[in-house]
Amino acid sequence: MRFSLKPLKPKKHRVNMVIKDHVIRFCYNDQASLEDIQFVGEQMLPSGIIKEGKVQDIFVLTSIIEELVETYNWKRKKLYFCVPDSSVVIRPYKIPADLQHDEVKGYLYMKLGEDLHLPFEDPVFDYHYLYQEEEHQHILLFAYPEEQIRTYESIFQEAKLKPQAADLSSLSLFRLYQYFEQVQEDEHLLSIQWNVDGCVVTVFHDERPVFIQHMKTPLDASLFKSNEEAFTAVEWHGEQQDIDAYIHDQVQEIERIMNFYRFSVTKGKAGITKVLLSGDFPQMDMIRQQCEERFSVPVEHLNISDIYTKEGVEIPDLLAETAGLSLKE
């Protein structure tokens, strides 16, 4: 599994798929370019098929993806997909300065259980080099439970797709943010992906993720209902006071993360300079208003209204992660 921020050589005829607990969103490209997106779509999932990123019913999910493959003639097409956010671990880590590139992953596995502790067994690793000191190389470590990613790969292969690479939804969004040339020098960007199935908070600095946290939603998933219209966020059918309280508490928690980043991660040398808001959660206008009232930095909503398919169909903001994934090498 390889995580990457920047596209290299174009890959022709590819499917890009983002899977969440409640929905599959996808786009089909001629090559790794927003200008070559042929069409986009989404498929709502029955409740309980995926829970917190873990597949609960392999047979049903395979059948759903097989139907998509048949409908859109995707058989034997290359697939790029986003792994579920809930189990991803990103953290800085130090390795010996004299360690060679082909020795890094072996070293990481050796350090498991010693000074490298993860909330799951049998991880898949990837990493980015950050900088080097006399005795240590500093890397940004990515870890994901191997069993989960192998489950998704086996489902895709059963459906006659050809998995090429996995990505993080936060990286896909940042890739899209880069595409619009919005990155500013020495920016500390807080990306808030506020979705129905949870909230992913990621800090980017020097065009790299340096902190990520996934926060589960305490709300009853059965009270989110789709209105059956294409690309329309689900609606909340519970008590308004419950969703108000959740938004209030979540914004408070995000503020604590911002303070943690300033005082613990950067040791008071820097703080968040901008907030980028995205997601499919209902009442995003209320969320943005509360963020603007509470945070002392600009809060922007990721708008992709300038992106169209080759047939001239506007791609909605809900597919921002999928559009960013389509740029992956």
Query: How far, in Å, CA of 142 to CA of 105, rounded?
Result: 11
Shared domain for 127 and 267, answered yes or no, is no
Nearest to 258 by CA among 213, 226, 216: 213
Query: How far, in Å, CA of 303 to CA of 292, rounded?
Result: 17
Do residues 27 and 322 make contact, with C-beta atoms less than 8 angstroms apart? yes
Structurally, how many domains does the chain consist of? Answer: 2
Give residue-wise pLDDT tens across range 29-69. 988 888 889 999 999 898 889 988 889 999 999 999 999 99
39: in domain: yes
Confidence of residue 154 (pLDDT cuts 50, 70, 90): very high
Where a domain ends, among 102, 127, 144?
144
CATH code, domain with 106: 3.30.1490
Nearest to 266 by CA among 190, 205, 212: 205
* pLDDT for res 270: 92
Q: Which residues contact 103 (CB under 8 A, 6 or more apart)?
A: none
**Burial level of 161, CB count in 10 A (0-12/13-18/19+)?**
buried
**Parent domain of 99:** 87-144
Q: Which residue has the higher pLDDT, 80 or 311?
A: 80
3: in domain: no
50: in domain: yes
Q: Which residue has the higher pLDDT, 209 or 182?
A: 209
Query: What average pLDDT does the segment 276-282 reach?
Result: 92
Confidence of residue 229 (pLDDT cuts 50, 70, 90): low
Where a domain ends, among 144, 159, 193?
144
Query: What average pLDDT does the segment 107-116 reach?
Result: 91
Nearest to 46 by CA among 174, 226, 288, 172: 226
Q: What is the side-by-side strand order in the sheet with 23-29?
A: 37-44, 23-29, 14-19, 78-82, 162-167
Where a domain ends, among 144, 160, 176?
144
* pLDDT for res 119: 86
Shared domain for 294 and 273, answered yes or no, is yes
Shared domain for 134 and 250, answered yes or no, is no
311: in domain: yes
Give residue-wise pLDDT tens across range 179-191. 887 788 889 999 9
H/E run at residue 250: helix 240-260
Shared domain for 18 and 153, answered yes or no, is yes
Shared domain for 189 and 75, answered yes or no, is yes
